[in-house]
Amino acid sequence: MAIVSLNQYKAVDVGILTVVGTVAEALCAGAAKIFTWELYSVSPAVAVICIVMMRWGGWAAIPAVTTGAAFCFVTGAGPEQFAAYCVGNCFALLAMLLFKAFGKGSKGLAAGKEKIRSKFYFTAIFVAAAFAGAILGRWLVSVLLGSPVEIIYSYFLADSLSFIFSETVVLIARRPDGLFEDQKSYLIRTESERRRYGDPDYYE
């Protein structure tokens, strides 16, 4: 069995999640464009960003940008909206401050991630922080580019259903083993289990 390095695994993992999130965002944006009479829309962006943040930290900036670009491309948005969504989505990464806030002892960020992963109410707070960060980021960029301050109400209203969707998806993602988990910790844990049962070592 070929050995796969951590960086290779990370690249493939982030790539797959980014493609899945970007395609899902494009499909949802396309549906919203067709059903124009609907006031609310659903976006998987924050859910995907949260999962990648938990797995790989700052690498979540990649799907943050691509999901924002996909939404704007499908809806025919202008340059200002592209900037608001692509840059603004990255503000969701401010939720990573909770890793440090909840982390205690020598494990630091890993301990904070585990606390968020293992307790549903901490997971919910984490998703809420990411959602608020993305909305505030879009609003801030929009205002800097000349939009009225009141546009924040539109962002929160349009994405209120997306917030519920994101909470639901991430809370469900806690259930499968390793999906919503720091991947370095996950690989160490699974490698230890493989060694215990005499299985080959797949990661270096």
Asked whether residue 154 carries a pLDDT value surpassing 90, the answer given is no
What are the angstrom distances between the C-alpha of 54 and each of 14, 37, 152? 11, 36, 27
Average pLDDT over residues 57-66: 98
pLDDT at position 21: 97
Provide the CATH topology of domain 6-196: Arp2/3 complex 21 kDa subunit ARPC3 (1.10.1760)
Residue 29 structure tokens = 């944006």
- Lookup result for tokens 């205002």: 143
pLDDT band at 155 (very low <50, low <70, confident <90, very high): confident
pLDDT at position 105: 60
State residue 203 phi and psi, 5-degree precision: -120, 140
What is the model's pTM?
0.90
pLDDT at position 203: 45
Asked whether residue 106 carries a pLDDT value surpassing 60, the answer given is no
* 3 or 60, greater pLDDT: 60
Residue-wise pLDDT tens digits, 163-204: 999 999 999 999 999 999 999 999 988 888 777 776 555 444
pLDDT at position 135: 95
pLDDT at position 196: 75
Asked whether residue 57 carries a pLDDT value surpassing 50, the answer given is yes
Residue 86 structure tokens = 């692509």
pLDDT band at 137 (very low <50, low <70, confident <90, very high): very high
Distance CA 115, CA 126 (A): 11
Average pLDDT over residues 108-131: 93
pLDDT at position 202: 46
Mean confidence (pLDDT) of the chain? 90
3-class DSSP string for the chain: CCCECHHHHHHHHHHHHHHHHHHHHHHHHHHHHHCCCCCCCCCCHHHHHHHHHHHHHHHHHHHHHHHHHHHHHHHCCCHHHHHHHHHHHHHHHHHHHHHHHHCCHHHCHHHHHHHHHHCHHHHHHHHHHHHHHHHHHHHHHHHHCCCCCCHHHHHHHHCHHHHHHHHHHHHHHCCCCCCCCCHHHHHHHHHHHHHHCCCCCCEC
Asked whether residue 33 carries a pLDDT value surpassing 80, the answer given is no
Q: What's the half-sphere exposure (Cβ side, CA atoms, 13 Å) at 80?
A: 10
Least confident among 46-50, 53-57, 83-87, 198-202: 198-202
